[in-house]
């Protein structure tokens, strides 16, 4: 059922039914072109980690593991509400802020006013 709902959502997104509300972009696009997306509602995917002074979404799990903060975005979020997604690959919808870089300015921006987070289903190697 989750796969069907995800497929319907992404089909609607691709056809423009939902495109007005949010832009589906990669973390790489946000890091490379922060001014283009500043203040806009976006949908991104990545590895999500919740911790004191370090709640963020990263391009890959290794970026979190090896403290590659610049490959991630600080997240302003209700941590209790989304704890079930901690240390998982997720899809997240919120507003990108190029100026807010989190604790000690370590990240490449932030995702604020987060409306939704849901688990991304990562296929196993070989597409099986």
User: Which CATH architecture describes the domain 22-119?
Assistant: Beta Barrel (2.40)
Whole-number Cα distances in Å, 74 to 71, 99, 118:
10, 11, 17
Whole-number Cα distances in Å, 56 to 1, 22, 71:
28, 20, 10
Pairing state between β 110-119 and 72-75: parallel
Q: What is the pTM of this model?
A: 0.78
pLDDT tens per residue across span 84-93: 999 999 999 9
pLDDT tens per residue across span 8-53: 555 555 544 444 457 899 999 999 999 999 999 999 999 999 999 9
């Amino acid at each position: 059922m989750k796969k069907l709902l995800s497929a319907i959502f992404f089909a609607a997104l691709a056809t423009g039914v939902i495109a007005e509300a949010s832009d589906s972009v990669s973390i790489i696009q946000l890091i490379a072109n922060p001014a283009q997306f500043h203040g806009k509602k976006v949908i991104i995917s990545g590895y999500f980690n919740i911790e004191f002074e370090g709640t963020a979404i990263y391009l890959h799990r290794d970026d979190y593991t090896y403290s590659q903060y610049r490959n991630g975005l600080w997240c302003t979020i209700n941590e209790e509400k989304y704890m079930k997604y901690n240390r998982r690959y997720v899809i997240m919808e919120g507003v990108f802020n190029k100026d807010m870089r989190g604790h000690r300015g370590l990240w490449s921006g932030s995702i604020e006013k987060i409306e939704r987070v849901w688990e991304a289903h990562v296929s196993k190697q070989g597409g099986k």
